[in-house]
Chain A
Amino acid sequence: MDDFYRELIIDRYKNPQYRGELNPNDISFEDDNPLCGDHIRVDLRLDADNRVTEAAFAGHGCAISQASADLLMEAVIGKTLEEVKQINRDDILEMLGIDLGPVRLKCALLPLKVLKAGVYGLGEANEELVT
């Protein structure tokens, strides 16, 4: 169980590289995980070809959701929005390098859910975005 808390996750939680807000931005979205009260906001800046040039996340949550957000921001920089839409749950699990049960999976996938809802321009995030 403690394998969850690999060095990478603790490091990213304690010293995130992409924490903050981008104002102005081209895409911004935020949402909660009602289960645990986690809240995440994701901001993106794009170039003329719709390629992500800057990414940042804000909010609060457990080590899994915060590390997942930080790694995800790193991963999207340089990608086009079309490429960002292709990111799925397996990519997140691979970034984190851990296996998760159904409850903690929600924590890990919250940042991706928020990111995708923003990229698709949806009013509300939904589970289908990350399945």
Chain B
Amino acid sequence: MPTLDTAKIRADFPVLEREIHPGVPLVYLDSTATSQKPSVVLDSMDGFYRCCNANIHRGVHTLAEESTEAYENARRRVAEFIGSPSPRQVIFTRNTTESINLVAYTWGRANLKAGDVIILTEMEHHSNIVPWHILAAEKNIRLEFIPVTEEGLLDLDVYQDLLQLQPKLVAFTHMSNVLGTVNPAAEIIRLAHATGAIVLVDGAQSVPHRPVNVQNLDCDFLAFSAHKMCGPTGIGVLYGRKELLEAMPPFLGGGDMIKRVHLRSFTPNELPHKFEAGTPAIAEAVGLGAAVGYLNSLGMEAIAAHEQEIVAYALERLEEIPGVSIFGPSAKYKGGVASFMLKEVHPHDIAQILDGQGVAIRAGHHCAMPLHEKFGIPATARASFYLYNTMEEVDKLVEGIYKVKLVFRV
């Protein structure tokens, strides 16, 4: 198994050179919220604007040709990265949230009716709950949730029972952004398909951190964001099975998504353009393509192994601290996320004092209020790890928590 040369990797990320306070370097442990960006990504976008910026798909001049090629090349790279049979099944959206909304508003509206059942899980990000709430209210659809066990895993026995309801859709996160739990996606999908359900996988946290192949998973939809995988903000992806995408009505209306427009009617364009109305995030697509190239150069297996090593060490060190409790399963069930609480200290205060040490973590409900509600805690502190993080940074996190204890006299 190739391992990551973190010293070399860190040199690829300009922001990691930054001092947060004089003499206090940045320890960035918030990649689950958004990852940092390597120079190759920044340069690709800068280079695009400097050399060939033009609107895509209709122009015939040189810049338009080059821009179209750059944009479509990014789509091909993404398709290859996730094992999509064709680039035409890769739709560029704004982010994971928009990808899920696209499915809810088009596939959902066209295919679901009153009384139909959608199965979600209790560990979903709000982006994979609220679109279904909206659809459920509109169409009188029933939402059911696979429970999370005390240990922080999905209760697959209850899932099997829920499948008896003959759900039309099962939508779940591949990896929890709070617990870090990596769900047995292939198994969940296999069981769903056996009852005839369509499956949407929220890959926002898995695609950046481990190998994800849509054909191996056999998912019907996969949603993810560029900005969590070394790419820019403003662009995300929806992968979909071809027959489904072709049968779905369009999402947003406007330019580019049409074949023909008359005063009183229109014909939608073919895939993937049907779902990409208006001028898309062209430079961002180029950046995403560069990010995919960067991740491929390191190897997704190696990235996953590196994070596994760091999170195991982080959990071990955190557990040693009196008063700290960990939220989520043991290292073997999860990716690079360590959510924790410190007795008598609010997570916001932990994050604030850690920031004084240059350590950037997140505090709050991490857009997963139902999960926090279930465990009866308003908020948690979350350290998350990516390919550029080191064991020394975990040590700095731990030192910082001791500083919190000192300030709060706990």
Contacts and interface: CB of A to CB of B under 8 A. Distances in A.
Interface of A: 1-2, 4-5, 10, 14, 35-39, 60-64, 66, 104, 107
Given A35-B364, A37-B365, A37-B378, A10 B372 contact: no
Interface string B354-384: 0110000001110001001000001100000
Interface in B220-277: none
B159 to A, nearest CB: 28
19 contacts: A1-B21, A1-B352, A4-B352, A5-B407, A5-B408, A10-B409, A14-B344, A14-B408, A36-B347, A37-B364, A37-B365, A60-B346, A60-B378, A61-B346, A63-B345, A64-B349, A66-B346, A104-B352, A107-B348
Contacts of B349: 5, 62-64
Contacts of A38: 378
List 5 A-B pairs, minimum CB-CB distance, nearest first. A1-B356, A37-B378, A62-B348, A62-B346, A37-B379
A26 B73 CA distance: 67
A22 B346 CA distance: 25
A117 B391 CA distance: 48
Contacts of A104: 348, 352
Given A10-B407, A10-B408, A62-B346, A36 B379 contact: yes
A14 B409 contact: yes
Contact of B346 (A2, A10, A63): A63
B64 interface: no
Nearest to A35: B364
A110 B85 CA distance: 52
Interface of B: 21, 344-349, 352-353, 355-356, 363-365, 369, 372, 378-379, 407-409
Contacts of B369: 37
A14 B408 CA distance: 9
Contacts of A36: 346-348, 363-365, 378-379
Contacts of B363: 36
Nearest to A37: B378
B353 A2 contact: yes
A38 B347 CA distance: 11
B362 to A, nearest CB: 11
A5 B348 contact: no
A5 B345 CA distance: 12
A103 to B, nearest CB: 9
Nearest to B353: A2
B66 to A, nearest CB: 41
A104 B408 CA distance: 18
Nearest to B372: A37
A59 B353 CA distance: 22
Interface centre among A1, A14, A35 (most CB of B within 10 A): A1
Contacts of A62: 346-349, 352
Nearest to A39: B378
A39 B355 CA distance: 24
Contact of B355 (A1, A35, A37, A60): A1
A63 B346 CA distance: 7
Given A10-B409, A14-B408, A62-B349, 11 more contacts: A1-B353, A1-B355, A1-B356, A2-B407, A10-B408, A14-B344, A36-B379, A37-B378, A37-B379, A62-B347, A63-B408
B364 A2 contact: no
Contacts of B345: 63
A5 B353 contact: yes
A6 B407 CA distance: 9
Contacts of B379: 36-37
Contacts of B355: 1
Contacts of A63: 345-346, 349, 408
Contacts of A1: 21, 352-353, 355-356
A35 B364 CA distance: 7
Nearest to B352: A4
A38 B348 CA distance: 10
A51 B408 CA distance: 36
Contacts of B344: 14
Nearest to A66: B346
A86 to B, nearest CB: 29
Nearest to A63: B349
A60 B344 CA distance: 11
B409 to A, nearest CB: 7
Contacts of B21: 1
A1 B360 CA distance: 13
Nearest to B407: A5
B381 to A, nearest CB: 11
A49 B374 CA distance: 45
Contacts of B408: 5, 10, 14, 63
B163 to A, nearest CB: 33
A4 B346 CA distance: 14
